[in-house]
Amino acid sequence: MSKMESEQEFEKARSPFAEAWGMFRRNHTAVGALGVLLLILLGAIFGPFLYGVDPFEMVWAPFSPPGEEGFMLGTDYLGRDLLAMIISGARVSLLIGLSAALVSILIGVTVGALAGFYRGWVEEVLMRVTEFFQVLPTLLFSMVLVALFGASLPMITFAIGVVSWTAVARITRSEFLRIRELEYVMAARASGGSNKTLMFTVILPNALPPIIVQSALMVGSAILFEAGLSFLGLTDPNVVSWGQIIGSNRQYILDAGYTVTFPGIAIFVTVLAISLVGDGLNDALNPKLRQR
Amino acid sequence: MAPLLEVENLRIELTTRDGIAPVIDDLSFTLNAGETLSFVGESGCGKSMTALALMGLLPDKIGRVASGKIIFNNEDLTQASDARLREIRGNDISMIFQEPMTSLNPVFTIGEQIAEVLRAHQGLSRAAAWAKAVELLDAVRIPNPKGRASDYPFQMSGGQRQRAMIAMALACEPKILIADEPTTALDVTVQAQIFDLLTDLRRQTSAAIILITHDMGAVAEMAERMIVMYAGRKAEFGPVDQIITHPRHPYTKGLISCVPHIVSDMTEERPDLIEVPGIVPSLKDFGQDRCLFASRCAYVTDKCQASRPSKKLFSNGQIADCWHAEDL
Amino acid sequence: MPKTLLDVDGLTVRFEVKRGSGWGKKSYLYAVDDISFEVKQGETLSIVGESGSGKTTAALAVARLVPAHSGTVMLDDGNVLEKQGEDLRQTRQKVQFIFQDPYSSLNPRKRADSIVREPLDNLSEKSEDEKTTIVAELFEAVGLRPEQMKLFPHQFSGGQRQRIGIARALATQPELIICDEPVSALDVAVQAQILNLLRKLQREYNLTYLFISHDLGVVQHMSDAIAVMYMGKIVEHADRISLFTSPRHPYTQALLSAVPTVDRTQRAKQKRILIPGDPPDPINLPKGCRFANRCPIAEAQCSQTEPELKDVGQGHKVACHLV
């Protein structure tokens, strides 16, 4: 049609995902954090096979300092190998972090999407429910749940998920409210799209970036939350988690500080890495920064 | 009489991801007191960048004046300190923007915002500044100015906000008023009112106006002289009437003919509009030693691709930067 | 005389507005108030007006994209406003929309070809191969290259994006295309490209346009007939030549005189009519003519009774007591 347009150099079709990765790659801190996170993940998956010490077995005298007697991180108050416990704890902490985040995303996205899409009384009811959960004292509420229904891993996961979905719901709703007014949603309606199509294939994919960022950060906060619960003793006694190691050794903090320091560092590094990755995702997925 | 403002061989460079691009490439012009000079072109041609350069408001760290002079009152603004530029910005040169909603502060009333400018630049007392603000609102024909001065921007219509912006810009009786697409966001009947207002104010204060627009109609109504910008360069320069009756640059010609105008002798015949094909080149292609319009031009020859066209001066004061200006 | 394709009668669209605290009685904003017009097969009717005139709302109501309060929209002897379910799907095939903003009207997560294909997927029963062929033909018809089909919207310029929007609107071979300010977000040179394309497509496919615009120059170029709206009402409705050469309503006259023009004879001939003040509050409309408070020739009766849209000869309709 016009010569200029045909002269334009042919641009390659890059998917939004490839584009976001390109942006993410330029943030060196976030890439570093992602590396650390992958190492932790690999350690959690393969660690127990590589380091075959049973974390529940009393292998040596209690309070053996790190590096001495052949135990890299020493032993705890029962004489269990701290390194084995931290490796094993990584599995539990990460698992709870991920699945609690998943639970809260499922609840949050559903509530937020319905509220933002249908508006009216649906929104009114759902947002009041959301507010109800928002004003609950979260730690207390999840303690009650765990105390009532027993301290199993699924219950703890659920307890964490159920108190932390409100932020996702609010973000999803506000994104839906914004996007539903955009012309491409109107265009999809004019093209005969049903409500279901509009919600799930038109609006939701476009609402995802802030939800993804929030989810990443939520994995971190769920790990912290779990640590808090197990510190208080509300944890499955049959598994080891980082918070539980700190909790059970807390009386000896003055005599054997390392028993709480090492799991503390593990939590700190993991959560920090997750936040940094979340930050990087935020920049990568933010369309304003993506413009050349 | 010496011109009010003289711009000489101005070159402004912008640092982009693809390197340094000359967004303004060798621009020279003069502005006389009391005249209206218009900058015309599509978006991305450097119109707004010229305005920002005159105001000393180039984007920090990204944009800089690479060479050339901006002489105002025997002073070269490209060499002036930030403090001096601030002084000039409020007092001697002021600017109105396209979107009056975003350029007014939403948490202060219109009156407070205008009074603030007066107090900062003219050292008026609180009461005197307020009185003057009301006076200014009256001057820009806002009905019931006393009452409206206590309104917040969101309580006003788009046209009234733009008037309030103009009142603020006029607060210190500037010698130059830069209007960057002042009516693009407004309805035509409101645009007519704003143009009317600007023309009257210019007559009363003898300020010079620089009108930046993409609308040839607006240029024809408002300005005496015009500069057509393309890809950071001056394409054509001269008296508005002469250029509109006989454009010497194919881009100017395209800009005039591609818009459907309301004409006096309307007929049933409606031939297709004459297109300017393609789009403005991206920044990375600016500054090459060839005619940057060549790829969209119907009159293109080998010469256009080989070197940057030089100025062609015509006896009526028109200047066109085109190798084929005489043949058009 | 071409047959009438779209016949709109008494169309009203109102929105509920909350005023005051909670429990007060509901008030309504009549964005479109009892308007009637018709569009002939293969022609273009433009609805022109300033912001807040209700022109876009009227267009959206015709396309069933906002709910109408009352009135009828007859297309092919069926009332569009009453269609439900499968009937509505059939109607959607016949009425398509081109949106104003090429930046927000394309889903940023879809590739160009699937955007154009979307109406076919939702509304037609065609086979995959047929759809692919149609999409390829549409790309060519609107002047895009086949290798651009797999690109995402942000990789196109504004004009190219609008071409994608046009291709999408053409996909189901609609009888009526509603163009809502299709060029107002584009640069002047690109505007001409799109306007020429729209006219070329109209000739080739015998399309009927309902064209919404605030730009009188564009309207003059594109339309066969024009309806001027002010505050939800049609104040004047006439064919192109008649409206532009002898506008009868004082608002139309003011509107036309306000357009800056490069034509010097036009400028010399024309005295600009300034209309002071602002339009009335759309929720508390005055009784009588809505333009009365800004009208240069208003008389006492104008603020008492509302003028009807009446024929003043050769189909030129005006809603003014003084014409």
DSSP sequence for B91-124? HTEEEE-S-HHHHS-TTS-HHHHHHHHHHHHH--
Q: Which residue has the tokens 């008026």?
A: B124
Residue ranges of domains in chain B, CATH in brackets = 5-81+176-327 (3.40.50.300), 93-173 (no CATH)
Using the beta-carbon criterion (under 8 Å), do B277 and A292 form an inter-chain contact? Answer: no
Q: Which of A60-69, A283-292, C268-277 has the lowest mean pLDDT?
A: A283-292
The answer, for A9 touching chain B at a CB cutoff of 8 Å, is no
Using the beta-carbon criterion (under 8 Å), do A2 and C143 form an inter-chain contact? Answer: yes
C window 179-218, beta carbon within 8 A of A: 193, 197
Chain B CA closest to residue A6: B278
Is residue A118 situated within a structural domain?
A: yes
The answer, for C143 touching chain A at a CB cutoff of 8 Å, is yes
Using the beta-carbon criterion (under 8 Å), do B278 and A7 form an inter-chain contact? Answer: yes
The answer, for A5 touching chain B at a CB cutoff of 8 Å, is yes
Is residue A245 situated within a structural domain?
A: yes
Say which of C188, C195, C258 has its CB closest to residue B191.
C258
Is residue C113 situated within a structural domain?
A: yes
Residue A10 clears pLDDT 50, i.e. is over it: no
The answer, for B40 touching chain C at a CB cutoff of 8 Å, is no
Close Cβ partners of C210 (under 8 Å, ≥ 6 residues apart): C6, C39, C44, C45, C47, C59, C62, C176, C177, C178, C179
Residue B172 clears pLDDT 90, i.e. is over it: no
Chain A CA closest to residue C139: A1
Determine the pLDDT at residue A4.
Answer: 39
Q: Which residue has the tokens 């999409």?
A: C135
Using one digit for the tens of pLDDT, what is the confidence trace for A52-102?
777 777 767 676 777 666 667 777 777 777 888 888 888 888 888 899 999
Determine the pLDDT at residue A68.
Answer: 66
**Interaxial angle between packed helices A166-180 and A82-118, expressed in degrees from 0 to 180 and rounded to the nearest 10:** 40
The whole-number average pLDDT for the span A20-49 is: 86
Q: Which residue has the tokens 């939004």?
A: A16
CB A200 within 8 A of CB A179: no
The amino acid that residue A28 corresponds to is: H
CB C256 within 8 A of CB B210: no
The amino acid that residue A208 corresponds to is: L
Measured distance CA(A194)–CA(A203) in Å, rounded: 12
Write out chain A residues lying below 8 Å of C99, CB-based: 183, 186-187
Say which of A187, A191, A205 has its CB closest to residue C123.
A191
- Joined tokens for residue C313: 């000869």
**Torsion angles phi and psi, residue C145, rounded to 5:** -95, 150
- Binned at pLDDT 50, 70 and 90, residue C22 comes out as low
Using the beta-carbon criterion (under 8 Å), do C152 and A186 form an inter-chain contact? Answer: no
How many percent of chain B have pLDDT more than 90? 36
Measured distance CA(A161)–CA(B82) in Å, rounded: 54
Is residue A199 situated within a structural domain?
A: yes
Q: Which of A257-261, B221-225, C304-308 has the lowest mean pLDDT?
A: A257-261
Q: List Cα–Cα distances, A77 to A4, B20, C11, in angstroms.
A: 76, 65, 82
Q: Please tell me the total count of domains within chain C.
A: 1
Residue A245 clears pLDDT 90, i.e. is over it: no
Which value, in Å, is the radius of gyration of the alpha carbons in chain A?
A: 23
CB C153 within 8 A of CB C173: no
Is residue C225 situated within a structural domain?
A: yes
User: For the domain that residue A234 is a member of, what is the CATH number?
Assistant: 1.10.3720.10
Say which of C187, C199, C259 has its CB closest to residue B42.
C187
Mutation pick from C122, C176, C200 vs chain A, by most beta carbons of A within 10 Å, is C122
Write out chain B residues lying below 8 Å of A2, CB-based: 275, 277-278
Mutation pick from B230, B296, B305 vs chain A, by most beta carbons of A within 10 Å, is B296
Using the beta-carbon criterion (under 8 Å), do A187 and C97 form an inter-chain contact? Answer: yes
- Binned at pLDDT 50, 70 and 90, residue C20 comes out as low
Q: Which of B71-75, B88-92, C66-70 has the lowest mean pLDDT?
A: B88-92
Write out chain A residues lying below 8 Å of C123, CB-based: 191-192
Q: Identify the chains in contact with A, defined as 3+ C-beta pairs within 8 A.
A: B, C
Residue B239 clears pLDDT 90, i.e. is over it: yes
Q: What is the separation of C-alpha B235 from the centre of its chain, rounded to a whole number of angstroms?
A: 15
- Strands across the sheet with B311-313, in order? B93-96, B176-180, B208-213, B36-40, B225-230, B233-239, B319-321, B311-313
Mutation pick from B187, B194, B230 vs chain C, by most beta carbons of C within 10 Å, is B187
Chain C CA closest to residue A208: C109
Close Cβ partners of A244 (under 8 Å, ≥ 6 residues apart): A89, A230, A231, A235
Is residue C323 situated within a structural domain?
A: no
**Torsion angles phi and psi, residue C123, rounded to 5:** -115, -15
CB B106 within 8 A of CB B41: no
The whole-number average pLDDT for the span C238-244 is: 93
CB burial of residue A286 (10 Å; 0-12, 13-18, 19+):
middle
Determine the pLDDT at residue A219.
Answer: 87
Measured from the Cβ of residue C65, the count of other Cβ atoms closer than 10 Å reads 18
- Joined tokens for residue C120: 């076919």
**Torsion angles phi and psi, residue A226, rounded to 5:** -60, -40
Q: Which of B220, B243, B98, B236 is nearest to B162 (CA)?
A: B98
Q: List Cα–Cα distances, C312 to B42, C221, C296, C308, C322, in angstroms.
A: 42, 24, 21, 12, 11
Using the beta-carbon criterion (under 8 Å), do A186 and C105 form an inter-chain contact? Answer: yes
- Joined tokens for residue C75: 């297309």
Q: A254: domain range?
A: 25-44+77-285
Measured distance CA(C286)–CA(C247) in Å, rounded: 25
Write out chain A residues lying below 8 Å of B296, CB-based: 3-4
Mutation pick from A183, A204, A285 vs chain C, by most beta carbons of C within 10 Å, is A183
Is residue C279 situated within a structural domain?
A: yes
Say which of B244, B275, B280 has its CB closest to residue C193.
B275
Using the beta-carbon criterion (under 8 Å), do C122 and A193 form an inter-chain contact? Answer: yes
Determine the pLDDT at residue A70.
Answer: 66
Determine the pLDDT at residue A290.
Answer: 47
- Binned at pLDDT 50, 70 and 90, residue C203 comes out as very high
Q: Which of B159, B162, B130 is nearest to B145 (CA)?
A: B130
Mean per-residue pLDDT of chain B: 88
Is residue A64 situated within a structural domain?
A: no
Q: C296: domain range?
A: 4-318
Cα dihedral A212, A214, A216, A222 in deg (nearest 10): -140
The minimum CA-CA distance between A192 and chain C, rounded to whole Å, is 5
Residue A287 clears pLDDT 70, i.e. is over it: no
Determine the pLDDT at residue A14.
Answer: 64
Determine the pLDDT at residue A69.
Answer: 64
How many percent of chain B have pLDDT more than 70? 99
Our CA angle for B278, B282, B288, nearest 5°, is 100
How many percent of chain C have pLDDT more than 90? 61
Using one digit for the tens of pLDDT, what is the confidence trace for B104-136?
888 889 999 999 888 888 888 999 999 999 988
Measured distance CA(B39)–CA(B46) in Å, rounded: 9
Determine the pLDDT at residue A2.
Answer: 38
Measured distance CA(B48)–CA(B45) in Å, rounded: 8
Residue A229 clears pLDDT 90, i.e. is over it: no
Measured distance CA(B183)–CA(B161) in Å, rounded: 11
Is residue C258 situated within a structural domain?
A: yes
Cα dihedral C307, C312, C318, C321 in deg (nearest 10): -30
Higher pLDDT, C301 or C77: C301
The answer, for A291 touching chain B at a CB cutoff of 8 Å, is no
Write out chain C residues lying below 8 Å of B272, CB-based: 196, 199-200
Write out chain A residues lying below 8 Å of B295, CB-based: 3-4, 7
Using one digit for the tens of pLDDT, what is the confidence trace for A98-125?
999 999 999 999 999 999 999 888 999 9
Length of chain B: 328
Chain C CA closest to residue A6: C145
Say which of C99, C111, C160 has its CB closest to residue A5.
C160
Using the beta-carbon criterion (under 8 Å), do A7 and B295 form an inter-chain contact? Answer: yes
Write out chain C residues lying below 8 Å of B263, CB-based: 261, 263, 266
Is residue C160 situated within a structural domain?
A: yes
Using the beta-carbon criterion (under 8 Å), do A3 and B296 form an inter-chain contact? Answer: yes
Is residue C242 situated within a structural domain?
A: yes
Q: Which of A280, C123, C257, C300 is nearest to B221 (CA)?
A: C257
The amino acid that residue B48 corresponds to is: S
Measured distance CA(B301)–CA(B297) in Å, rounded: 9
Say which of C97, C144, C193 has its CB closest to residue A190.
C97
The whole-number average pLDDT for the span C203-209 is: 93
User: At CB < 8 Å, which residues of chain A contact C?
Assistant: 1-2, 5-6, 10-11, 13-16, 182-184, 186-194, 197, 202, 205-206, 287
Residues B39-64 as b/e (b if ≥16 CB within 10 A, e otherwise) read bbbbebbbbbbbbbbbbbebeeeebb
Say which of A1, A4, A292 has its CB closest to residue B295.
A4
Mean per-residue pLDDT of chain C: 90
Length of chain A: 292
Q: Identify the chains in contact with B, defined as 3+ C-beta pairs within 8 A.
A: A, C
The minimum CA-CA distance between A291 and chain B, rounded to whole Å, is 11
* Strand pairing report for B176-180 and B93-96: parallel
Q: Which of B240, B159, B163 is nearest to B200 (CA)?
A: B163
Mutation pick from C60, C104, C131 vs chain A, by most beta carbons of A within 10 Å, is C104
User: For the domain that residue C18 is a member of, what is the CATH number?
Assistant: 3.40.50.300
The amino acid that residue B281 corresponds to is: P
The minimum CA-CA distance between C318 and chain A, rounded to whole Å, is 33
Determine the pLDDT at residue B274.
Answer: 87
Write out chain C residues lying below 8 Å of A15, CB-based: 152
The minimum CA-CA distance between A161 and chain B, rounded to whole Å, is 40
The whole-number average pLDDT for the span B264-274 is: 82
Determine the pLDDT at residue C241.
Answer: 92
CB burial of residue C308 (10 Å; 0-12, 13-18, 19+):
exposed
The answer, for A4 touching chain B at a CB cutoff of 8 Å, is yes
Q: Please tell me the total count of domains within chain A.
A: 1
Q: Which of A279-288, B202-211, C175-184, C254-263 has the lowest mean pLDDT?
A: A279-288
